[in-house]
Structure 1
Amino acid sequence: MQEIAAEEECFVYVLGCASAGRYLTYVGWTLDLDRRLGQHNAGTGARSTRGRSWVLIHSERFTCRQDAMSREWHLKRDRAFRRSLVAKARAKQA
């Protein structure tokens, strides 16, 4: 008999970082947004995020890990969407 996994709350997130005249973004997924952002800012997150100060500019909630991972895959390829998030983040800073 196959056991059904309990639903878990998953998040897809986009981080932003102003760096040397440009604004970088990073897309990922996690079970705990606060913990994951802390890891990125402490230098223990993904290698590409180390040494920078990141802020959360977008997040989406999912009840299934597979859905979150699928959305992450799509967001990583959707540069237009990430550019729109950057424009909103810059407008908030001004």
Structure 2
Amino acid sequence: MQIKRNVPARLCFVPDSSTASITVLDKGGAENLPEIQGRSIYKNVSQTIIQTPLIKNSDIDELIQPYIIDKGGLVHEEPKRETRANTFVAKETRLS
């Protein structure tokens, strides 16, 4: 209960029962949402039915691949290094 009070915004997709909906939202209703992928109830102060975007697992895998670290601590792909050949450095000047 204490964790729920510290997290005012909640997102609930279609649960399998009204009990699960009450657990997440403190109110039933999410179990009656149409079974459309991404349909959910967002609760902050009031509840709003929203449609979240669908992102395929393959797209997520492609995006996070450069940041995956294996058990040996090696990065699978070398991150791109930024070059700063044309960087302007401003020096602080004090007025007397």
* TM-score > 0.5, shorter chain as reference: no
| Higher helix fraction (1 or 2) | 1
- Structure whose alpha-carbon radius of gyration is higher: 2
TM-score if structure 2 supplies the norm length? 0.23
TM-score if structure 1 supplies the norm length? 0.24
Q: Higher RCO, 1 or 2 (CA under 8 Å, sep at least 6)?
A: 1
